[in-house]
């Protein structure tokens, strides 16, 4: 609640004297606090944004307090509450105040950090280039993943077709070899068959005619005999 009140106070007093500080992108900036106080708040005010408490500075050697831990990498404090901004980017542009922690509140003169036009254009260009590179990298990653999946699927299909073709040919060859072996076996068996068995087969075939009557045989035999002279 106290910090909120301080922010509102800064917002109401934002029309105080402002000094401009021109700097370059990526440089380090030091802002002096003209308040003779033991404890002070450093506050950042951006256009269309509420005031942001960056840190609370104590007399040395006590370390400052950061409401947001992410500010530790960007802001630090030197002797007499001087604020140091490391590697200034567009995110650190704005108006900076130091304010005491007692009542009634005292507000220092503000310092506004800004870049020249060429630096701002370079920063915008860099942001645009980075966004374009990120988009291209994302697209290439998606394309690479899809290509890898398609190649994997194609390899699986080719392996399946190769297996079907190889196994089919192997089965056909095995069947042909089996048929040839059976044929050779049959031929060898016929070649080694006993001739007597063949003659016996003829004799057996003649037995099928036992049912023929003897009279028919005699008559047929008589008819075949030559006439007597």
Cα distances from 227 to residues 92, 132, 218, 221, 222, in angstroms, run: 148, 127, 15, 12, 10
Whether 88 and 47 map to the same domain: the answer is: yes
pLDDT at residue 60 above 70?
A: yes
This prediction has a pTM of 0.49
* Number of structural domains found in the chain: 2
Whether 134 and 179 map to the same domain: the answer is: yes
List pLDDT tens digits, range 185-229. Answer: 776 666 665 555 444 445 454 554 555 555 555 555 555 555 555
The per-residue pLDDT of the chain, averaged, comes to 76
Percent of the chain's residues with pLDDT above 70: 66
CATH of the domain at 93: 2.60.40.10
pLDDT of residue 201: 47
Q: Which domain holds residue 76?
A: 2-115
Query: Strands (DSSP E) along 35-189, which ranges?
Result: 40-45, 52-57, 75-78, 82-85, 94-100, 110-114
List pLDDT tens digits, range 145-177. Answer: 888 888 888 899 888 888 888 777 777 777 777
pLDDT at residue 42 above 90?
A: yes
- Residue 203 inside a domain? The answer is no
């Amino acid at each position: 609640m106290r910090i909120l009140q301080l922010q509102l106070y800064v917002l109401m007093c934002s029309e105080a004297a402002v000094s401009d500080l021109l700097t370059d992108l990526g440089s380090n900036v030091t802002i002096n606090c003209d308040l003779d106080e033991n404890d002070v708040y450093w506050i950042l005010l951006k256009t269309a944004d509420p005031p942001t408490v960056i840190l609370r500075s104590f007399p040395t050697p006590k370390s400052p307090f950061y409401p947001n831990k992410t500010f530790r990498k960007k802001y630090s404090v030197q002797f007499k509450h001087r604020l140091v901004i490391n590697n200034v980017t567009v995110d650190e542009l704005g108006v900076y105040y130091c304010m005491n922690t007692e009542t009634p509140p005292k507000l220092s003169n503000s310092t506004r950090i800004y870049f020249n036009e060429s630096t701002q254009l370079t920063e915008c260009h860099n942001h645009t280039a980075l966004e374009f590179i990120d988009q291209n990298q994302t697209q290439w990653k998606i394309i690479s993943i899809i290509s890898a999946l398609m190649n994997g699927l194609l390899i699986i299909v080719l392996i399946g077709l190769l297996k079907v073709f190889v196994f089919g040919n192997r089965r056909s060859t095995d069947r042909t070899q089996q048929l040839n072996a059976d044929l050779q076996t049959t031929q060898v068996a016929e070649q080694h068959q006993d001739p007597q068995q063949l003659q016996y087969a003829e004799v057996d075939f003649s037995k099928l005619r036992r049912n023929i009557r003897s009279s028919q045989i005699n008559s047929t035999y008589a008819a075949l005999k030559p006439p007597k002279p």
